[in-house]
Amino acid sequence: MTTKANLIAVTIDCDDPRKTAEFYHQVTGLPIAYAEDEYAAVSDGTTSLYFGRVPDRKPVEWPSADKQFHLDFRVPDVEKAVEEYVAIGATKPEFQPGVTDEGVGWIVLRDPDGHLFCVCPEK
């Protein structure tokens, strides 16, 4: 039997950990638990996102097979949340696989450091 592991956090490489933590604090409401030049975190003690400084990190193209991960967030109103996130620094790529002729399923955004995340409706 394999030893069960509990996920405690996801660490995201970025150019400016403080700035990235502040952005995700605003998106998630998670408190900023730690903020230094090299490392920062948002956490409520259960859910945690960590941010580690990697100078000159280059975001991947979107769409691209080079994408390694993205975050998904559920919100009550996708279009309103997208508007708010863009106002605090996110950008909206042109390619949107979750938007069809039938409506909006989800919207892909980039955080200020270029990481992709999806804004998904509550179900």
> Do 19 and 76 belong together in one domain?
no
117 with 73, same domain: the answer is yes
| CA separation for the pair 56, 45 (Å, rounded) | 30
Say which CATH number the domain at 19 has: 3.10.180.10
- Report pTM: 0.94
The pLDDT tens digits along the chain (123 residues) read 899 999 999 999 999 999 999 999 999 999 999 999 999 999 999 999 999 999 999 999 999 999 899 999 999 999 999 999 999 999 999 999 999 988 889 999 999 999 999 999 997
CA distances, 23 to each of 17, 56, 90 (Å): 10, 19, 9
For residues 64 and 113, membership in a common domain is answered with yes
Residue 102 has a pLDDT of 87
State residue 85's pLDDT score. Answer: 98
Domains in the chain: how many in total? 2
Half-sphere exposure of 38 (CA within 13 A, CB side): 0
Structural domain containing residue 74: 58-123
Alpha helices in the chain (DSSP H): 17-28, 78-87
